[in-house]
Structure 1
Amino acid sequence: MFFCPPLEVLYSGTCMRFDYVWLRDHCRSASCYNAKTNQRSLDTASVELDIKPAQVRADDTTLYLTWPDGHMTRYGLQWLTQNSYEGQKQQLVQPRILWNEKIYKEANVSSVNFLDFLETNEGLREFLQNFLLYGIAFVDNVPATREDTERVAKRISHIRETIYGKMWDLTSDFSRGDTAYTKLALDRHTDTTYFQEPCGMQLFHCLRHEGTGGRTLVVDGFYAADQVRQHHPEDFELLSNVPLKHEYIENVSASQNHMVGIGPVLNVYPWNKELYMIRYNNYDRSVINTVPYNVVRSWYSAHRILTNELRRPENELWVKLKPGKVMFVDNWRVLHGRESFTGYRQICGCYLSRDDVLNTSRLLGLKA
C-alpha cells in the first residue's frame, strides 16, 4: 500500500485517488454519520474546500486521517476500494445476461409457479433473479382474473398509476387514442417514452382470446445496443448523447392528454459506460428539433443501424400469451410488440415502480 498528496492509495491491485474534501465529507464517525438511519449528519457546506489532514497513517486494513481540529476519520481499505471512482469503474451497477433467441432458449429459464411466487421468498427471489438477468420473467398458473393479476403485481411493487390508471384492460375497442387499442400489428418498442421517467416494469396477462394471431414479440434492446457498441462505437456514442422528444397527444372521449418526455435513445452511466435504459418508440418519437442540421443525417444513420439490429430475426423471441401465464417486462431494456390478430382479445396489465422492484430485489439479497 502506498499513498501521497492529495491522497493516492494502492490496495488489492487498485490504484485509487482521493480528494481530501471527499475524505472529510464521507467520514463515518458517530458525529458525522448516523448509523441508525444510515444518513449523513455532517454539514458538507461547512467543510473547507482546501482542507488537508494533519496526519495520515494506515495499517493492513484501515486508513486513519487526523484533521486540523483533531477529529479522526477511519476508513476500511476494502470499503474505499468498493466506493472509489476507480473501483466503481470496474463494477457493473446491475449484472445482466444479454440474449438473442438462441441464447435465451438455451438458458432454459424457468417460470415460477403462482403459489410459490405469492407465498415464498424463494419463489419471489427466483423470479426477480430471472427478471434482473434477462429483463423478462414469467409466473404460471395465475387465475385468469384482473384481481389475481393485481395480486401478482403487488407482490413485487406498488402499482404505478399513470394516465391509463392503475390496472388496465387492453382490447381492440380503440377506447384510448393509441395503436395498441386496435387489432393491428405493433412493431418493437418501449412504452411511455413520452414520460420524463419511463415506467420501469410492466406486466401482461392474456385473460381471453377468441381468434388467431396476436403473439407477443420481445427483443433484448441491450443485446442489440451492445452489437452497435462493438461494431459501430461512434453511432452508439451519438445515440447516447443526442436528446430527443417523445410525445403522446390523446383526444378520445374522456381522455385528454399531452405528454412529452425528453432523453436520448441510449442512456449510459458516465463513469463506467454501462447502458441502463433504452428509450425506443418510433410511434411516439416527436419532431426532431433538438439536433443541429449537420448532425441530423448522422443521427438517422445511427438510428438505422440500431433498428436493423433490433429487427434481426435471430434477435426476436415470440411468446404466445395464454390465460394463466403472466409476463413481466423490463421496460427500460426489453422492447415488446405483437403480431396482428383476429377475434376478441383481452390483455390485463399495469406498470410498476422501478425503484420498488429494485428495492424488493435488494432486500432479498440480489444485486440490483
Structure 2
Amino acid sequence: MKEVRFSVSEESNTLLAQFNGQNIELPALWLRERCQDEYHLDKVSKQRFFDPHQLSEDLSIKKIESIIPEEKLTISFSDDYTGTYDINEFYADFDMWDGTPATKSWLSDTDKSAFFVQYDDLTSEKGLLNALEIFLAYGLIIVNGVPERPNAVLEVAERFGNVRQTNFGKHFEVYTRPDSNDLAYRSVSLGPHTDNPYRDPMPGVQLLHCIQNETTGGLSTLVDSLSVIEQLRKEDPYGVELLSTIPVRYRHYDQDVDLIERRTMIKLDSANRVEGVAYSPRLDFLPLLEPEKLKVFHRARQRLGQLFSDPRFEWRFKLEPGQLQMFHNTRVLHGRTAFDPNEGHRHLQGAYIDLDEPKGRYVSLKKKISI
C-alpha cells in the first residue's frame, strides 16, 4: 500500500490525508458514516446499527480535536453527534489491494521456483498463509506431494475456500471420453483459455490435480494475462479499450443445460486495473459492430490469442502425478498440448472455488498470525 499520512487542523476543523502527492480533505459526511462507538457499530461483526444513507448531505464538522499520543480524534458534527475516532481505522480506505498482496505479472522465463509449495505445509497456518500470498501475487501455485488418489483435489480446495458445484459436479474428471460435452475430455490440443466464461459468476479459481500421466504429450500450459495485456496495450491501446468495454456472448450447451452470458473479454477491477480476461475461442461469438470497428475489435482479439501462445509468455510443462496446479481462472489462462491416449492413461481431477475466499482467508489469517 502507498503511504498515507493524516494531519489535523483544529483552526479550520479539517482532517487531511496526504496520499499520492495530494492533500485530500476528508468530508464531514465521510467521517460521520465511519463513527466507531459501540452505540453505532457492533464490535464483533463490524456492522452498523444505523443507516448512514439517511444522514444529511449538508453535515459539517463543528469541532475536531487531537488526542495525543493515542492517534485518536474527537469530532463533533452539526447533527449534534460527537465521537472518538481511531485514525488507524482509516488506512484501509486508502489500500486499493484491501490487505492482499499486490499482483506481480510474470513471463515464461520468470523463475518458477517461487510458484511451488508443499502439500504438507498447507496444514499449518504459516504454510497456508505463504501459499495464499504466492497465489494472490502471481495468480497460481503448484502444490507438490498431493496424494495420488481420487478426491484429493477437494481436500486441497477446501483449505483455500468452499468448493463450488457446477453442472459438471462438485469435481470433474479430465480423461479421454468420446462424445463428451466438452473438448477438455478429449485428447486434442487446448489453446490457452479461461474456464466457464458462459457462467455468472465465472469460477474465480480452478484446481487441477494429476493422478496419473503416462503420456509424452498432454503438457500443461499457463500464461499470465496481465503480462499479455500490457504488451497488447503497447501495440494497440484502442483495441484494448474495445475489448474491455464491448460485451461478448459466450455459450455452453449440452443435453441438460444451455448457459449463456455476455461479458467483456478484458476484465477491469473497481480501480480500473486489468484483473484478467474471459477468453475461450471455442465458446465466444463476435459482437455485432459497424464494419470498421468490428475489424479493430477482431484484430485486437486475434493479436490477444497470438500473444497468449507466444513462447515469451506461455509456460509449458508436464504436470506430474502428485502435483496440483491452482490458478486464478480469469487471470492465468490454462491449456494443454495434444496427446496420444494409446500411450497410456492421463487422469486429472479438477474443482472450482470462488476468488473472494482465498482473499478473505489471507487477510484473516495474516491478522491472526501477526497478533
Shared fold per TM-score greater than 0.5: yes
Amino acid corresponding to residue 111 of structure 1 in structure 2: F
Deviation at 1:333, TM superposition (A): 0.7
* Aligned residue in 2 for 1:260: 260
Output the CA distance in 2 between the equivalents of 1:148 and 1:88. 36
1:280-359 aligned at under 5 Å gives the runs 280-289=279-288, 291=289, 295-343=293-341, 344-359=345-360
Distance 1:93 1:127, change over 3 A: closer
For the pair 1:49 / 2:57, whether they are aligned, the reply is yes
Amino acid corresponding to residue 236 of structure 2 in structure 1: H
* Aligned residue in 1 for 2:81: 71
Distance 1:147 1:93, change over 3 A: closer
What is the count of residue pairs matched by the alignment?
A: 354
SS at the partner of 2:287?
coil
Describe the superposition over 1:24-44 as per-residue Cα deviations: whole angstroms up to 9, x where unpaired: 222222222111221112212
Output the CA distance in 1 between the equivalents of 2:358 and 2:128. 11
* Aligned residue in 1 for 2:159: 155
Mind listing any 5+ residue stretches in structure 2 that lack a counterpart?
A: 1-6
* Aligned residue in 1 for 2:3: none
Amino acid corresponding to residue 328 of structure 2 in structure 1: D
Describe the superposition over 1:313-333 as per-residue Cα deviations: whole angstroms up to 9, x where unpaired: 111101201211111111021
Deviation at 1:207, TM superposition (A): 1.8
**Is contact 1:2-1:10 (8 Å) kept?**
no
Output the CA distance in 1 between the equivalents of 2:273 and 2:317. 28
C-alpha RMSD over aligned residues: 2.7
Output the CA distance in 1 between the equivalents of 2:213 and 2:92. 51
For the pair 1:220 / 2:219, whether they are aligned, the reply is no
Amino acid corresponding to residue 113 of structure 1 in structure 2: Q
SS at the partner of 1:261?
strand
Output the CA distance in 2 between the equivalents of 1:23 and 1:292. 48
Describe the superposition over 1:231-251 as per-residue Cα deviations: whole angstroms up to 9, x where unpaired: 433332222222222111113
Give me the identity figure in percent. Answer: 23
Output the CA distance in 1 between the equivalents of 2:208 and 2:151. 13
| TM-score, with length taken from structure 2 | 0.85
Output the CA distance in 1 between the equivalents of 2:91 and 2:166. 41
* Aligned residue in 1 for 2:41: 33
| TM-score, with length taken from structure 1 | 0.86
Describe the superposition over 1:316-358 as per-residue Cα deviations: whole angstroms up to 9, x where unpaired: 1012012111111110210011111012322111112222222
Deviation at 1:214, TM superposition (A): 0.4
* Aligned residue in 1 for 2:187: 183
Amino acid corresponding to residue 262 of structure 1 in structure 2: R
**Farther-moved stretch of structure 1 (191-200 vs 223-232):** 223-232
SS at the partner of 1:245?
strand
Amino acid corresponding to residue 361 of structure 1 in structure 2: Y
* Aligned residue in 1 for 2:16: 9
Output the CA distance in 1 between the equivalents of 2:264 and 2:233. 15
Distance 1:16 1:111, change over 3 A: same
Pick one of 127, 134, 137 that aligns with 2:131.
Answer: 127
SS at the partner of 1:307?
helix
Deviation at 1:82, TM superposition (A): 4.3
Amino acid corresponding to residue 120 of structure 2 in structure 1: L
Deviation at 1:174, TM superposition (A): 3.6
Mind listing any 5+ residue stretches in structure 1 that lack a counterpart?
A: none
Describe the superposition over 1:109-162 as per-residue Cα deviations: whole angstroms up to 9, x where unpaired: 253222222x32232222222211211211212221113332222222211101
Output the CA distance in 1 between the equivalents of 2:38 and 2:62. 20
1:71-220 aligned at under 5 Å gives the runs 71-80=81-90, 82-83=92-93, 87-88=94-95, 94-105=101-112, 108-109=113-114, 111-117=116-122, 119-174=123-178, 176-220=180-224
Amino acid corresponding to residue 40 of structure 2 in structure 1: C
Deviation at 1:99, TM superposition (A): 0.6
Output the CA distance in 1 between the equivalents of 2:118 and 2:99. 30
Output the CA distance in 2 between the equivalents of 1:135 and 1:96. 8
Distance 1:178 1:365, change over 3 A: same
Output the CA distance in 2 between the equivalents of 1:25 and 1:248. 45
SS at the partner of 1:363?
helix
Output the CA distance in 2 between the equivalents of 1:78 and 1:230. 39
Output the CA distance in 1 between the equivalents of 2:97 and 2:142. 32
Distance 1:127 1:82, change over 3 A: closer
* Aligned residue in 1 for 2:4: none
**Farther-moved stretch of structure 1 (54-63 vs 150-159):** 54-63
Output the CA distance in 2 between the equivalents of 1:94 and 1:236. 25
SS at the partner of 1:314?
coil
Output the CA distance in 2 between the equivalents of 1:156 and 1:92. 17
SS at the partner of 2:61?
coil
Amino acid corresponding to residue 143 of structure 1 in structure 2: P
